[in-house]
Amino acid sequence: AQSVTQPDIHITVSEGASLELRCNYSYGATPYLFWYVQSPGQGLQLLLKYFSGDTLVQGIKGFEAEFKRSQSSFNLRKPSVHWSDAAEYFCAVGGPTGGGNKLTFGTGTQLKVEL
């Protein structure tokens, strides 16, 4: 069975500081990995995704993530956080054996940005 673990429930960073949100996954084959962001009361917006190839992927809003198969991780990073980045971030895993578009989400990390 596929699963996703986001060990940090809450993270607080100062504006301008760097950010790393952790994500570990369990999947029986090569996974499709995603990071989504959710603002209060809103749906999810895709930040970036990894399917294959270069293990460092670039996304929107200056975010990037690195796939590390040996560590089963897909951590999200941003060099300099902006106050507007405060939101809930979800890591998700999917793939062919999971029915393609059937995603399993982590429990999310709530990001707070201090001015």
Partner 1 sequence: GAVVSQHPSWVICKSGTSVKIECRSLDFQATTMFWYRQFPKQSLMLMATSNEGSKATYEQGVEKDKFLINHASLTLSTLTVTSAHPEDSSFYICSAPKPGTVAEAFFGQGTRLTVV
- Do the strands 73-78 and 44-50 form a parallel or antiparallel pair, or are they unpaired? unpaired
13 or 98: whose CB is closer to partner 1?
A: 98
Of 81, 104, 85, 80, the residue nearest 32 (C-alpha)? 104
Question: Which residue number, 19 or 93, has a Cβ lying nearer to partner 1?
Answer: 93
Q: Does 29 bind partner 1 (CB under 8 A)?
A: no
Distances (CA, A) of 113 to 4, 37, 47, 54: 24, 15, 18, 30
| Of 11-19, 33-41, 64-72, 79-87: span binding partner 1 (CB under 8 A) | 33-41
47 binds partner 1 (CB under 8 A): no
Q: Is 2 in the site for partner 1 (CB under 8 A)?
A: no
Tokens of residue 3, six digits: 């699963």
56, 100, 112, 114: residue in contact with partner 1 (rule CB under 8 A)? 100
- Out of 65, 87, 103, 113, the only residue in the binding site for partner 1 (CB under 8 A) is 103
Alpha-carbon dihedral 58, 87, 19, 84, rounded to 10 degrees: 80
Q: In angstroms, give the least distance from the CB of 90 to partner 1.
A: 7
